[in-house]
Amino acid sequence: MIRPDFKKMDGLIPAIAQDAETGEILMMAYMNEQSWDKTLETGEAHYWSRSRKTLWHKGGTSGHTQKVKSIRIDCDDDTLVLLIDQIGGAACHKGYRSCFYRELKDGEVTQCAPLVFDPKEVYK
């Protein structure tokens, strides 16, 4: 069994959500021990909300959950990659497929991920 070293970085470690099929990076959030344990228990991604200071079940409000297929840990035990199935099509709370929906290339910023839902309709 692997277990992240939560003693580092004040108990929070980066967790990158990556589409298990396509390899697309969908989002980055933080996990603490509680969110790690809940993710292992449920098979769905749970994170720690730094702004709300609470456990956060990804998709708990929107229905856009993340089914965890596997978890990779780096050599220092302080960064995770969650290979997931993104249920509902959107990982970003702004309604985009990926939180990394903007790209800077050749001095131009473009949208590089589709808008999946209107957040005003989902987060009422």
pLDDT tens digit sequence for 3-32 = 999 999 899 999 999 999 999 999 999 999
State the pLDDT at residue 79. 98
Q: Determine which helix (DSSP H) or strand (DSSP E) holds 67, and give its type and residue range.
A: strand 66-73
Distance CA 62, CA 83 (A): 20
State the pLDDT at residue 124. 85
Q: Which of 26, 21, 28, 45 is nearest to 90 (CA)?
A: 26
User: Tens digit of pLDDT for each residue in 46-104?
Assistant: 999 999 999 999 999 999 999 999 999 999 999 999 999 999 999 999 999 999 999 99
Q: Which CATH number fits domain 6-93: 2.160.10.10, 2.40.110.10, 3.40.1190.20, 3.10.20.810?
A: 3.10.20.810
Q: Is 74 annotated as a binding residue?
A: yes
State the pLDDT at residue 66. 98
Q: Is 37 annotated as a binding residue?
A: no
Instruction: Report the predicted TM-score, pTM, of the whole model to 2 decimal places.
Output: 0.94
Beta-carbon contacts of residue 35 (< 8 Å; ≥ 6 apart): 46, 47, 48, 55, 56
3-state SS, residue 84: strand
Q: Could you state, in order of their start, the residue ranges of all structural domains in the chain?
A: 6-93
Q: What would the mean pLDDT of 31-55 be, rounded to a whole number?
A: 97
pLDDT at residue 1 greater than cutoff 90: no
Q: Is 112 annotated as a binding residue?
A: no
Are 58 and 49 in contact by the 8 Å Cβ rule? The answer is: no
Estimate to the nearest angstrom the gap between the alpha carbon of 18 and the chain centroid.
Answer: 8
